[in-house]
Amino acid sequence: QVLNMQLLRQSENKKYKYTLAFLGYADESQSTVLELTYNWDTTNYEHGNACGHIAIESDDIYASCIKIEEMGGIITRAPGPVKGGTTIIAFVQDPDGYAIELINKKDAYTDL
């Protein structure tokens, strides 16, 4: 509300006990979207674990991860389906140790 962002969509995963909220200034196809994650059973977070990360969409998550590794970056979760879903995600570590989530573009072509 402070930043005048709108809740674009929200989903809950009861099996893995988390809620995702996607906020933005316009439709996801037209603007950057911020994903917020709420883990139901977590009361404390440490540096970079399960919270406090940003998510960035990638046109080809597999190619992005290869390039990150080639440049000396650290992949902390290889590309694969999110728990309880089909969206392909990966996690990388920024130079300060924070997690950055990569999300494969929904209509991205992959031969995997």
Q: From the candidates 28, 46, 69, 101, which is the catalytic residue?
A: 101
Burial class (CB in 10 A: 0-12, 13-18, 19+), 60: middle
The reply to whether 101 belongs to the active site is: yes
Dihedral sign, Cα of residue 71, residue 108, residue 59, residue 53: negative
* Residues labelled as active-site residues: 101
